[in-house]
Amino acid sequence: MITNKKPRSSDTDSIYMRDDRTEMSEDDDRSPSPNSITHDSSPTRTYTTGSGPGTGPGSSSVPEYLAPCPDQVLENVLENVLWFLTSRKDRNAASLVCRSWYRVEALTRSDLFIGNCYAVSPKRATSRFTRIRSVTLKGRPRFADFNLMPPNWGAHLAPWVSAMALTYPWLEKVHLKRMSVTDDDLALLAESFSGFKELVLVCCDGFGTSGLAIVASRCRQLKVLDLIESEVSDDDVDWISYFPDTGTCLESLIFDCVECPIDFDALERLVANSPSLKKLRLNRHVSMGQLHRLMVQAPRLTHLGTGSFSPSEDVAQGEQGPDYVSAFAGCKSIVCLSGFREIIPDYLPAINPVCANLTSLNLSYANVSAEHLKPIISNCHKLQIFWVLDSICDEGLQAVAATCKELRELRVFPFEAREDIEGPVSEVGLQAVSEGCRKLQSILYFCQRMTNAAVVAMSKNCPDLVVFRLCIMGRHRPDHVTGEPMDEGFGAIVMNCKKLTRLAVSGLLTDRAFAYIGKYGKIVRTLSVAFAGDSDMGLKYVLEGCPRLQKLEIRDSPFGDAALLSGLHHYYNMRFLWMSACNLSNQGCQQIAQALPRLVVEVIKHEDNLDMDENVDTLYMYRSLEGPRDDVPRFVSIL
């Protein structure tokens, strides 16, 4: 069963653009604004009037207008129109109209989105899109988060940052996810882009506090530095102190994943010198007493990650500690709360003053009970996003259902990700949420037992669901009341939730469940399967019935070569397929590689099984304009 206690903050098309347009640079002295494409004036020539050829005393010069080329008029108009086209999907369609539209769309693009760093080369991307100010780049597939991919697989930032340094001197924003980033990469990034403003690293690794220090010291216009679920090595460098001593432009600073201690005095100075700071998420080395001091410095915060949320060690027993309630009361703008690491639940009521305005609350690191949660959640009437551990039990979820009528997203993570225990949440909590939170659009729910009736109820009570991920921990677990497979529950989800685009299935499932998905999941784009399925027919139903499927990830399921070959017609339309611990053979994977030469077929071996044998440990397939990559590690074979 795939489990992940830590929450994660989930397409390479031939065209790359983020869904929402980012702000253009205001530093017009550094470059022409990409919003002001140069338009050539209409061509003219001068002729003279009068009786002679233009030299007599009565002659006068009059400009003669020559009509511009029709194609040039079209491109000029098109440039102005395409600036308002923000949807990646719409831009993709526009670029396919003709060569002229293809060229103009590239000229007017400011945001570059690449869903797989191996789907296109840095050279190809940077030569086509020359006016980019924001880059979003994704590397390893999602299953790498669950230790299903050996370390050092790839997804290196180095070739990308080198290409961008040469082509995009006005680059302002870089968002990376599951990429291998080195300190040298961060140094080159900081040195190459004088107006750099935003760096977001999600689930990245390979860098340390030395690289962060370079970014802090050299990127003087930096507004956003967000480190989310990334692995940061401790180089004994106090990176916080490298920010400018004078005022900064910081608007967001997130470092809750950084495990090494920080210089709190430097952090306090930084917060005081950052008048625009709105988002601050602290790591576990920041105590409640220190949090109190920061909140006094920055009452304007809208997003706060609290750090450890345990009392300061420097407060002697019997002494009066800081007034945490007053500190939260002074931060009237807070709408998003997270953190609460190493929490002492008795201190949780301190957040009561901000609960009424909260739209997002993340307690996924806080081991709190329903008894501690209920007084807090009863004040969160505006809550739209709620992440929590299953330690709140069904009783806590019932309290959420009674109060949070505006809830859009719920994630319930396991405190103990074990199969041999009877978990604290069940179908009771799921059904309560479905009955009380009718506006729910996304749910991730870990549990040890579930019923078809509860899942069917959710499909009927929450028809606007876009994401439904039910992770029943324990292999092949049926409906724990009837003993039947969970087919009807998942079938109801795909039948009744017409907006569903992401689905994760688990528990005891037969081919019937996959037949439902193939028949009704016509807009499903991402499907995750774990420990489920009867035969190859199950996967065949999905591959033949889900035309929008982009990402398919499967582990520990009985699907073999016949199932794999049934998707030949669809693989070029998908971003990737991942299959691990299934019944695949090297010969079956070779057939795919021969039939689809523009598909990269990687066979990944575990470190203790590097000899090529007939059985395939892991198959990872993805489309690419470049063919096989050139940084293949020894445990990867590209067929």
Cβ neighbourhood burial of 579 (10 Å; 0-12, 13-18, 19+): buried
Query: Above pLDDT 90, what percent of the chain?
Result: 72
Q: Is the pLDDT of residue 377 over 70?
A: yes
- Of 50-54, 96-100, 311-315, minimum mean pLDDT range: 50-54
pLDDT at 103: 87
pLDDT at 6: 42
**How many C-beta atoms lie closer than 10 Å to residue 5's C-beta?**
13
Which residues are within 8 A (CB) of 151 and not within 5 positions of it... i.e. 6 or more apart?
none
| Mean pLDDT score, 508-533 | 96
Query: Above pLDDT 70, what percent of the chain?
Result: 85
In whole angstroms, give the CA distance from residue 198 to residue 483.
52
DSSP classification of residue 419: S
pLDDT at 8: 38
Name the pLDDT band for 89 (thresholds 50, 70, 90): confident
Contact 387, 411 (CB under 8 A): yes
User: What does the mean pLDDT of the chain come to?
Assistant: 87
pLDDT at 291: 94
Contact 308, 287 (CB under 8 A): yes
Task: Read off the pLDDT of residues 536-589 as tens digits, 9 standing for 90 and up.
Answer: 999 999 999 999 999 999 999 999 999 999 999 999 999 999 999 999 999 999
Contact 16, 26 (CB under 8 A): no
Task: Read off the pLDDT of residues 244-298 as tens digits, 9 standing for 90 and up.
Answer: 988 899 999 999 999 999 999 999 999 999 999 999 999 999 999 999 999 999 9
Q: Is the pLDDT of residue 534 over 60?
A: yes
- Of 60-64, 120-124, 275-279, 448-452, minimum mean pLDDT range: 60-64
| Mean pLDDT score, 76-105 | 83
Name the pLDDT band for 422 (thresholds 50, 70, 90): confident
Q: Is the pLDDT of residue 51 over 70?
A: no
| Mean pLDDT score, 465-489 | 95
pLDDT at 71: 62
Tokens 């900064």 sit on residue: 248
Phi-psi category of 368—alpha, beta or left, where left has phi over 0 and alpha has psi -120 to 50? beta
Contact 114, 15 (CB under 8 A): no
- Of 44-53, 105-114, 339-348, 459-468, minimum mean pLDDT range: 44-53
pLDDT at 45: 34
DSSP bridge pairs for 593: none
Which residues are within 8 A (CB) of 28 and not within 5 positions of it... i.e. 6 or more apart?
none
- Rg from Cα positions in the chain: 28
Name the pLDDT band for 313 (thresholds 50, 70, 90): low
Name the pLDDT band for 421 (thresholds 50, 70, 90): confident
Give the pair of three-digit tokens for residue 613: 């044998």
Give the pTM: 0.86
Q: Is the pLDDT of residue 627 over 50?
A: yes
Contact 172, 134 (CB under 8 A): yes
pLDDT at 17: 30
